[in-house]
Structure 1
């Protein structure tokens, strides 16, 4: 046998041995699946035609073949899937009905809402949801047979009827507030399953105190107004007293009554005014009423009129000038034929 024939024989043997080894090679580990696991056929190494079996976690259904086989280094058919199970009929709840139409099958995540019959109250969440083939816990509808005790007291207010030691479900009572108080909220409350609905409140009136106004050098803006009482929510307007001007640091002079409280503005002493006779002669005016002193307090009114043979050029309201913190704005007149 020649060297060439030996070499050729060795190469043919190697080729056949390699092909045989390749045909019997093991598969890789079978793939894992979500929400499932392998329960049969588990080995450390897998050979041709080995099989493994899959199963799903509770609440999930197998989609595909539960068995897969090692064939040519590939697991056939492909691994199955574990899909969340749907739910069946809606659970019945006594003294309640569910919203919508009934179905034989409900997909995972679907919800159903219950409504208790009249005279019954829901206990627990009113909705149920489908998850992994099962419904969540349904609610309970119980009778509203609990009674209420006496209605709650409210500050400054009272009920319109004589209070009873207990009230049946559905009974109502009404409240009232005294004069100058505002009733805010429902006038009537109801007993529901042993509890009263929220009662109203009586908002206190505000009293514009003479002492507080004197302390802040203010008075009611409309001097003929003697309304010292204001209901909550009303606005009260103030002005400085004669001889005073608004303090720059004061709060607004239009104040809202807030449940018995007023925030008073403040005035400070103003500068007096002295009549300037030169300015009066230049503007052809004189005082409407004579007086001993030519000194006027701040905010005090000074009435002017035209001299004889002169007519008004300024507006009529300008002839009722006011001392403004030491300053007088004089009106002006001119000759009839000037």
Structure 2
């Protein structure tokens, strides 16, 4: 038994040891116009360093100090201090900011957005404009909801002009053209060609509604019992207590039935019948 335990311990311990040995330490971070702590000759894997900048300089992140982590011989990011009058790369709503080594930059707006035409400049560490991307007048918002249908595409808030989305009717429903799917188009800021899903005539929709009727009846009974409070917080509390009591009563009935079946000598769930026969003596 102890040999089995030893084998298990070795199987767990040896891979972790080999992985720890293979992880490389990091050297001293290269940082100008700033300082960091702690100061060591090398930093083991998964250790961290915090740095800040000298007077007149600032970090390239939000806040006046930054923490970086050693990951297998490399720092999670390069530490950097820049002049306080320099502008940091801004977060552009609905767009992306790209800055080049020569100091020039470029802004690319997302689909459905375009530059508003205003000039963007850096003044003493602050950008003159941080929301240069505006929604195009020909773009469309999210496709309208259609009863008994869904959009077969990842959600997005704005669609550029000429975008297409595909609607699909739920099971048991089809479009007016007797198809399960239909394409809608973004035209001049409006969605054109959205479908209308109707029952396919195969009674699948009616079967779904029939399956929902017991729940509807139960909900109607609960709403009737909660009284004039409706389904606000008090009504939901009363409905929850009522449902709990109903479930408890049902459980007690089942438990009682199982107990009676066991007292009669038969296994639970099996109907037991006993037949008596009279055997006479043969002369």
TM-score range, shorter chain: under 0.3
- Tell me the TM-score normalised to structure 1 length: 0.20
Q: Which protein is richer in helix relative to its size?
A: 2
- Tell me the TM-score normalised to structure 2 length: 0.23
Question: Highest Rg: 1 or 2?
Answer: 1
